Amino acid sequence: RASAFRATKTIENGAEYIKGTVNEAVVLPPKDKVAGSYHWDFERLLSLSLIPLTIASVVNGAHPITDLCLGVILPFHCHLGFDAMITDYFPSRRSPALNKVLTWSLRGATLIALYGCYEFNTNDVGMTELVKK
């Protein structure tokens, strides 16, 4: 067959456009509330909760509950921050391999941080004491 590819494409309302030219629409990424607004909400929630938490640990000193909360919220907060940087500078559409490598190593690092905080809080002085020193 002479033309196995079609230069034009027809969309739902019957209009036609030539592929690759100005009339081809921009394709938005698929809708996903979890990756969209819920992600943003969660990010802000963590950031906001860190404020009273930090003030409490500065004012009250070391306390198991604030240390526990800090030890969980801080690694998650940092994870979200670094994850945003990875999506900014190594988005999966542009550098799929590097994005995967970085995302998984970030997840690993966050898990290690979580475990480390847990260990530190239970068996050692605790995060607030550490900062005080």
Nearest Cα to 127, choosing from 63, 77, 60, 80? 63
Which residue stretch of 32-40, 63-71, 96-104, 121-129 sits at the interface with other proteins (rule: CB under 8 A)?
A: 32-40
Phi, psi of 126 (to 5 degrees): 110, 155
CB 126 within 8 A of CB 64: yes
- The C-alpha atoms of residue 127 and residue 117 are separated, in whole angstroms, by 7
- Residue 25 binds other proteins (CB under 8 A): yes
Q: Please select the residue that binds other proteins; options are 89, 104, 108, 130, rule is CB under 8 A.
A: 89
Single-letter residue type at 111: L
- Residue 14 binds other proteins (CB under 8 A): no
Q: Please select the residue that binds other proteins; options are 93, 97, 123, 133, rule is CB under 8 A.
A: 93
- Residue 24 binds other proteins (CB under 8 A): yes
Site size toward other proteins, by CB under 8 A: 23
- Residue 20 binds other proteins (CB under 8 A): no
- Residue 87 binds other proteins (CB under 8 A): yes
Question: CA–CA distance from 37 to each of 31, 33, 46, 51, 55 (Å)?
Answer: 11, 6, 14, 22, 28
**DSSP per-residue codes, 28-55:** PPPP-TIIIIIHHHHHHHHHHHHHHHHH
Smallest separation, CB 41 to other proteins (Å): 5
In the complex, which residues of this chain contact other proteins (CB under 8 A)? 22, 24-26, 28-33, 35-37, 39-41, 44, 84, 87-89, 91, 93
